[in-house]
Amino acid sequence: MSKVTVVGAGKYGSTTVQRIAEWDIVDEVVMTDIVEGLPQGLALDMNQSRPVLGYRTIVTGTNDYADTAGSDVVVITAGLPRKPGMSRMDLLGVNAGIVKSVVQEIVKFSPDAVIIVVTNPLDQMTTLAADVSGFPRNRVLGQAGMLDSARFAHFISEAADHDVLDVTAVTLGSHGETMVPVPSLCKVGDTPLLEALGNDKVAELVDRTRKGGAEIVAYLKTGSAYYAPSAAAASMVKAIIENAGAEMPVCAWMEGQYDIDGVYLGVIARLGANGVEAVEEVELTDDEVAGLREAAVAVKEKVADLEDLDL
Ligand code: APR
């Protein structure tokens, strides 16, 4: 009996639930929110799509954490999304309070769960969730790299006029400003990215990827992106549930890889039943490793801001 909980039934949370349910990879997905009726209504609606799409996973909508008990994986999407002009940092105070209270409830009812954090600002929220939970750090991870890599792949595919499924794109580091593109691992078909598109074009696409979330926020005016983000979060859940050694870029706890220690950072990790089974120290150029180390310093500085909050 496998069970996944998604906390937050907003755009990101509900779309993540929908994707996991439609893949039919778990018995139950529990969706919870503080708004009464919202998760229940969405769950009922989703469940009625089962005969049409042909899957069995049941979605339970609830406002009661008791219903989340015994979850294998918990995805935390609860929080406020960025508004136009709002930086991730602006979100820190309000979302830190939400994430702390959510994690306290999760730990009570699912002491063995793997926690995936998607609430922004991602690095701080993942660190906070790990601290509050007291879980081993391999069982708390964040979603960022899958999304940034997917955005980068989409932009490369368009610029190169090449099948998106034949593009390899990898970003590491942090989310947003300190994202570290990894051209040495990026390819258009079999051609190295820099060779295919040239330095200037790649720099332009890197910049667009860095600002990928803001570009969508500016269009939407209210709310932020959720289709690609939920695809990324759901694929991490799938990797953990399937426990088949899938590797992907995630925000994981560093313990000396690339000489980086004691910080959550976007790296390639092997996921499985224990969350992060291993951080893969893939071969990078000197510049890319330097970028990763810079990102680690920036994240450590940002995480220090958490100490100034009265939580
Ligand atoms: N417990 C449970 N749910 C909560 C709580 C809480 N303490 N506080 C807020 N929520 C719920 C809200 O009621 C809302 O339904 O979180 C949901 C957030 O949904 P949206 O406003 O639609 O935001 P969304 O686009 O889903 O983004 C969620 O993901 O990408 C990040 O920056 C984004 O931090 C934001 C999060």
Which residues are within 8 A (CB) of 276 and not within 5 positions of it... i.e. 6 or more apart?
A: 137, 138, 139, 141, 250, 252, 253, 269, 270
CA proximity to 142, closest of 124, 128, 122? 122
> In ligand 1, which atom is closest to the CA atom of 35?
13
**What's the token pair of residue 59?**
């979605």
Q: Determine which one of 154, 175, 210, 302 is catalytic.
A: 175
3-class SS string, the chain: CCEEEEECCCHHHHHHHHHHHHHCCCCEEEEECCCCCHHHHHHHHHHCCHHHHCCCCEEEEECCHHHHCCCCEEEECCCCCCCCCCCCHHHHHHHHHHHHHHHHHHHHHCCCCEEEECCCCHHHHHHHHHHHHCCCHHHEEECCHHHHHHHHHHHHHHHHCCCHHHEECCEEECCHHHEEECHHHCEECCEEHHHHHCHHHHHHHHHHHHCHHHHHHHHHCCCCCCHHHHHHHHHHHHHHHHCCCCEEEEEEEEECHHHCEEEEEEEEEEEECCEEEEECCCCCCHHHHHHHHHHHHHHHHHHHHHHHCCC
Residues 109 and 214 occupy one common structural domain = no
Domain count, the chain: 2
Please tell me whether residues 209 and 95 are part of one structural domain: no
Of 80, 90, 104, 116, the one to substitute when testing ligand 1's pocket (max ligand atoms within 8 A of C-beta) is 80
124, 142, 160 — which closes off a domain? 142
Task: State the distance from the centre of ligand 1 to the C-alpha of 7, rounded, in angstroms.
Answer: 8
- Residue 224 CB–ligand 1 contact under 6 Å: yes
Domain boundary among 115, 142, 169: 142
CA of 125 relative to ligand 1 center, distance in Å: 13
**Protein residue with its CA nearest to atom 4 in ligand 1:** 78
* Ligand 1 mean position, distance from CA 201 (Å): 35
Same domain, 74 and 209: no
Same domain, 195 and 295: yes
The CA-atom distances, in angstroms, between 137 and each of 41, 214, 278 are: 34, 30, 11
Domain with residue 25: its CATH number is 3.40.50.720
CB 28 within 8 A of CB 41: no
Do residue 90 and residue 190 come from a single domain? no
Q: Are residues 153 and 277 in the same domain?
A: yes
Block means of pLDDT (10 residues each) for the chain, 311 residues, are: 97 98 98 98 98 98 98 96 68 92 98 96 95 98 96 98 98 88 95 97 96 93 92 98 98 97 97 98 95 95 86 77
Q: Read off the tokens for 286.
A: 């000197």
Residues 295 and 163 in one domain: yes
* Tokens coding 141: 């991870």
Domain boundary among 109, 142, 175: 142
Same domain, 137 and 159: no
Residue 14 shares a structural domain with residue 61? yes
25 with 238: CB under 8 angstroms? yes
Whether residue 162 lies in the annotated active site:
no
Please tell me whether residues 174 and 303 are part of one structural domain.
yes
pLDDT reported for residue 82:
67
| Residue nearest to ligand 1 atom 34, measured at CA | 119
The response to whether residue 13 sits with its C-beta less than 6 Å from ligand 1 reads yes
* pTM summary value: 0.97
For ligand 1, whether the C-beta of 35 sits within 6 Å is yes
pLDDT at residue number 62: 98
The answer on 91 and 48 residing in a single domain is yes
| 122 and 22 share one domain | yes
CATH code of 220's domain: 3.90.110.10
* Closest residue to atom 15 of ligand 1, CA basis: 10
CA 3 – CA 132 distance, rounded (Å): 22
pLDDT reported for residue 307: 84
| C-alpha of residue 14 to centroid of ligand 1, in Å | 10
Contacts of 109 (CB under 8 A, 6+ apart): 65, 66, 68, 69, 70, 71
pLDDT at 88: 62
Check residue 89 and give its pLDDT.
Answer: 67
Residue 113's domain comprises 3-142
- Ligand 1 binding pocket mutation candidate from 34, 67, 68 (most atoms within 8 A of CB): 34
